[in-house]
Amino acid sequence: MSTNPTVEEAGRAVADPAAYADEARLHEALTLLRREDPVHWVEAPGYNPFWAITRHADVMEVERNNTLFVNAPRPLLSTAELDALRAAQRARGPELRTLIHMDDPQHRVVRAIGADWFRPRAMRALEPRVRELAKRYVDRMVEYGGACDFVTQVAVHYPLYVILSLLGLPESDFPRMLKLTQELFGSSDEEMRRGESASEQMAALLDFFAYFRALTESRRAAPTDDLASAIANARVDGEPLSDVDTASYYVIIATAGHDTTSATIAGGLHALIGHPGQLDRLRDDPGLLPTAVEEMIRWVTPVKEFMRTATADTRIGGVPIAEGEAVLLSYPSANRDEDVFDDPFRFDVGRDPNRHLAFGFGVHFCLGAALARMETRAFFAELLPRLGSIELAGAPELTATTFVGGLKHLPIRYTLT
Ligand code: HEM
């Protein structure tokens, strides 16, 4: 139902987690901003102000210019309270700092440590394992007897297990890592976060660090052929990474590769259920799988934003931006931009070209893009030929988050062999 927001209300929706749990409301706000005020100053309660950048061309322009717009110190939208806590922590000593918190030249050096593990050769080596995992989870759907909550019973497990396989962790540790990543990095949506109290959170964090410290030590003592060994034995200027930087690397890999891909697979399946003509088209012509996967990624856009800070006075789309001001790159908005996509609100498994920005652009372009594509393809390549019928068995629900999100429940009924 239309809420007819004003431009000011639409701007505040960009910083409102609840807006992301209601796609119609979100896209009404973003469409208005693109049309009326595509570089819009947002003052939302509880947040430091920022510019919301909603047009595809402007998002690309900011990302391309990575010396004028830098990631540090505010790479993501967080509350003013959290911004202040982080600033205080930075002043005290080393903080958890991942690739997305860094700028060149340091960013380039640290990114190179893991980069080989995401190149086509490494992807080809990993593919049989990914297919095996895809088959395991489709088999599990059969075991569920024709009905399940696709998100909690399938989509959150499969991508994490792929990532942990790439890192080289033993399968016996997978359930423990699933629990830990959910406790620590469950989104801002309350239902997703376990261990509510600060002490439970702290205990989970200590567990996580203890686990990865032991992993680092074992990979330093006896390196193996996996990403965990590459991280543990990396040298920057001849020195190993510090404990905090090593842990940060594991954290970005485990977290960036998890919720994003599960949101894509669940949102992709939901889109196919909602567009039976597109589902039939894809089943009749499996050669469309690569464009279908790309369309699922555009459609879902699981990463809702990243931010940059201007290092000098400048302009975006003619609007003056002052040095030190933050800009928020709205990926869901860029991916529905009428100037770039033909009929952007149509889900089209054959869409080509599809210049979506769901993986970002420029030097921070998603390191795991090839993996995410391969995983999503492998899953649907396994599922679709075995699928008879499929329908919703209840109302799907989206996560309330301004960062990474998508469906948190997708009750379905199906026939599957
Ligand atoms: C960065 C999206 C899957 C690892 C990013 C960025 C986006 C993104 C938007 C920031 C790009 C920018 O600032 O320009 C996605 C989406 C995924 C996905 C939509 C799934 C559909 C993965 C996977 C991994 C991964 C599977 C594997 C571990 C990373 C890393 C970065 C990153 C390490 C930081 C790169 C840097 O700052 O240099 N991703 N991602 N992502 N992603 Fe992904």
The percentage of residues in the chain with a pLDDT greater than 70, rounded to a whole number, is 95
ipTM confidence score: 0.99
Residues with CB under 6 Å of ligand 1 are 63, 99-100, 111, 163, 252-253, 256-257, 260-261, 264, 297, 302-303, 306, 358-362, 364-368, 371-372
Candidate of 253, 366, 380 to mutate for ligand 1, largest count of ligand atoms within 8 Å of Cβ: 366
Beta bridge pairs of residue 240: 235
Q: Whose CA is nearest to atom 5 of ligand 1?
A: 366
Cβ neighbors of 409 (< 8 A, separation 6 or more) are 149, 151, 152, 394, 396, 397
Amino acid at 199: S
Residues present in the chain in total: 417
CATH no. for 7-416: 1.10.630.10
Using the atom order of ligand 1, give the atom closest to the CA of residue 306. 13
- Least Cα distance to 59 among 417, 377, 360, 383 occurs for 360
Q: How many CA atoms lie within 13 A of 320 on its CB side?
A: 2
Contact 157/178 with Cβ under 8 angstroms?
Answer: yes
Mean pLDDT of the 157-165 span: 92
Query: Residue 201 above 90 pLDDT?
Result: no
Residue 303 is classified by DSSP as: B
Residue carrying structure tokens 């998002």: 59
Cβ neighbors of 87 (< 8 A, separation 6 or more) are 73
pLDDT tens by residue, 288-342: 999 999 999 999 999 999 999 999 999 999 999 999 999 999 999 999 999 999 9
Query: 24: pLDDT confidence band, cut at 50, 70 and 90?
Result: very high
Query: Residue 93 above 80 pLDDT?
Result: no
pTM beyond cutoff 0.90: yes
* CA 162/CA 254 separation, integer angstroms: 10
Mean pLDDT of the chain: 92
Q: Can you tell me whether residue 195 is helix, strand or coil?
A: coil
* CA 15/CA 24 separation, integer angstroms: 16
